[in-house]
Amino acid sequence: MKKKRDLILSVILLIVLFGLSWLLNSEMDSYVRRIANLCMIYAIIGLSMNVTNGFAGQFSLGQAGFMAIGAYVVGIFTVPVAARATVFYAVPMNPAIAGIQLPVWAALLGGGLLAALVAFLIGAPILRLKGDYLAIATLGFSEIIRIVITNASSITNGALGIKDIPTLNDARYIFLATAIAFVFIAALINSSYGRAFKAIREDEIAAEAMGINLYKHKCLAFMISAFFAGVGGGLYAMLLGTVDPKNFLFTLTYNFLLIIVLGGMGSITGSMFGAIIVTAGLEYLRIFDEPLELFGMNIPLFRPGLRMVIFSVLLMVCVLFWRHGIMGTKELTWDRIAQFCKNPLAVFKRKGAAK
């Protein structure tokens, strides 16, 4: 009964959100659209990172590398063939791929699959590492991917990057991709695979004693994570219209780490909230970057860069008071919402009691 209710409510929510994205597309200016789209893309990538880091408990920092793979596959294969000569003006494009142009959906999917394949090749040796060591190894591989891209000029146009990618600043399509990613991962996490991931996160030895194949599941989590990071990267490339190796420095990974730490490691809905807060919040704080005049006096603090100071302070406050992020490992479920509607104050009471 409850399951049926949740399913119906979720479908209604998705339809309403899709309608909103339609409205966003037709009513809002391109700046707002861009921020909303960026939120959704970051949510996909944040969620993908949450699969390895939050659910399977493997501390991986390779997301920027997988994004780069997805972004470049989209970049290389969707630029119109006629425009390629002007894009690849320094080193001509490798003739083997110069004539291939893929439809957008195929390029996105291909980017995700290639990222997953690379994840498998990388994961096979390094997923035997744990904790900090795994983080260092994945970080290193993500940099290797970027450097390979920088140097493979005839395929990726090297440091010049690829421009003239057909842009997609259309909330409807990006919303669809986001919805598919969230539904798929939610289904995965609630299946026996998801439970196995969580068991590995909690206690590897006990998980193994239950007959869970550690290595297989770690690889699987790593590949699924890379797949969605690749798709997210592809969408990102299409939102910007250009790709450049410098976009995918390892600092980009920390953006997503921030999103999932803030949203809650091991929470699907938390990844969404984290992405919205980090992306939209940073934009909102731009008011602090503009000069401010109060009573005819120019306040000296208000200058470019102040928003980052304020954002950092807000982050510190967040991490101090919500150690496990906004959601922790919990989810915002319909049950919770129903409870909240019945008795809004109970939420705060229980929180107080838990501490």
Partner 1 sequence: MLKISDLVVSYGGIEALKGISVDVPDGQIVTLIGANGAGKSTLLRSIIGLVKIQSGSISYNDQTINGLNSQKIVQTGITLVPEGRRVFPNLTVLENLQIGAYMRNDSEGIQQDIEKIYKLFPRLEERHWQMAGTLSGGEQQMLAVGRALMCKPKLLMMDEPSLGLAPLIIKDIFSIIQKINKQGVTILLIEQNANMALKIADKAYVLETGRISMEGTGAELLENPEIKAAYLGKKKHK
Q: Interface residues with partner 1 (CB under 8 A)?
A: 192, 195-196, 198-199, 201-203, 205-213, 329
Residue 118 and residue 219 in contact, taking contact as beta carbons nearer than 8 Å? no
CB of 214 to partner 1, least distance (A): 9
86 or 213: CB nearest partner 1 = 213
Rg (CA), the chain: 22
143 or 204: CB nearest partner 1 = 204
Q: Name the H helices within 203-213.
A: 204-209
208 or 283: CB nearest partner 1 = 208
Q: Within a 10 A sphere around the Cβ of 192, how many other Cβ atoms?
A: 8
User: H/E element holding 137?
Assistant: helix 131-151
69 or 221: CB nearest partner 1 = 221
Cα separation, 179 vs 175, whole angstroms: 6
CB of 193 to partner 1, least distance (A): 10
Cα separation, 281 vs 259, whole angstroms: 12
Q: From 77, 200, 94, 70, select the one nearest 142 (Cα to Cα).
A: 70
CB of 342 to partner 1, least distance (A): 17
The residue with tokens 């797949």 is 227
CB of 207 to partner 1, least distance (A): 7
25 or 267: CB nearest partner 1 = 267
Cα separation, 25 vs 78, whole angstroms: 23
Q: From 108, 110, 139, select the one nearest 122 (Cα to Cα).
A: 139
**Which two structure tokens, joined as six digits, stand for 221?**
């989590």
83 or 347: CB nearest partner 1 = 347
CB of 353 to partner 1, least distance (A): 12
* DSSP 8-state assignment for residue 167: P
Q: From 240, 199, 194, select the one nearest 220 (Cα to Cα).
A: 194
302 or 322: CB nearest partner 1 = 322
CB of 205 to partner 1, least distance (A): 6
CB of 198 to partner 1, least distance (A): 6
Non-local CB neighbours of 351 within 8 Å, separated by 6+ positions: none
Task: Determine the distance from the C-alpha atom of residue 178 to the mean position of all C-alpha atoms in its chain, rounded to a whole number.
Answer: 10
